[in-house]
């Protein structure tokens, strides 16, 4: 019985493609995650009277924390309307 080599794949192309994901695979994962997290964040920001473009910050590490700090520091236009 021949020795099995773990370093060499059985098929010449197999070793190159099995450890990578194609852009299509990334889209399958990232689009649903973007909708699942982005939609509620955008709705919350809209209710606060803040531009929904701030949702983009939620998808970048550290920028999302800075965005939360900025959100906590600003006064909401819709909340301030009823205050005299």
- Reported as a single tens digit per residue, the pLDDT across 27-70 is 898 899 889 999 999 998 888 888 899 999 988 999 999 988 98
Count of domains for the chain = 1
Domain extent, residue 67, equals 27-76
Residue 49 lies inside a defined structural domain of this protein = yes
Residue 82 lies inside a defined structural domain of this protein = no
Residue 5 lies inside a defined structural domain of this protein = no
71 vs 8, more confident: 71
pLDDT at res. 50: 86
pLDDT at res. 82: 58
Contact, 81 vs 64, CB < 8 A?
Answer: no
Residue 21 lies inside a defined structural domain of this protein = no
Please write down the long-range contacts of 33-39, taking CB distance under 8 Å and 24 or more positions apart. Answer: 34/59
Residue 20 lies inside a defined structural domain of this protein = no
pLDDT at res. 32: 92
The answer to whether the pTM exceeds 0.85 is no
Residue 50 lies inside a defined structural domain of this protein = yes
Q: Where are the beta strands (DSSP E) in the chain?
A: none
Average pLDDT on 5-33 reads 71
pLDDT at res. 25: 86
Within 10 A of 55 (CB to CB), how many other CB atoms are there? Answer: 22
Residue 11 lies inside a defined structural domain of this protein = no
Residue 15 lies inside a defined structural domain of this protein = no
Read off the tokens for 57.
Answer: 């910050």
């Amino acid at each position: 019985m021949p020795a099995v080599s773990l370093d060499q794949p059985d098929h010449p192309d197999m070793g190159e493609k099995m450890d990578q994901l194609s852009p299509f695979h990334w889209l399958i994962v990232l689009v649903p995650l973007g909708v699942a997290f982005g939609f509620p964040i955008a709705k919350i920001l809209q209710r606060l009277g803040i531009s929904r473009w701030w949702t983009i910050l939620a998808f970048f590490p550290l920028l999302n924390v800075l965005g939360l700090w900025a959100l906590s520091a600003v006064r909401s236009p819709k909340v301030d309307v009823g205050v005299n």
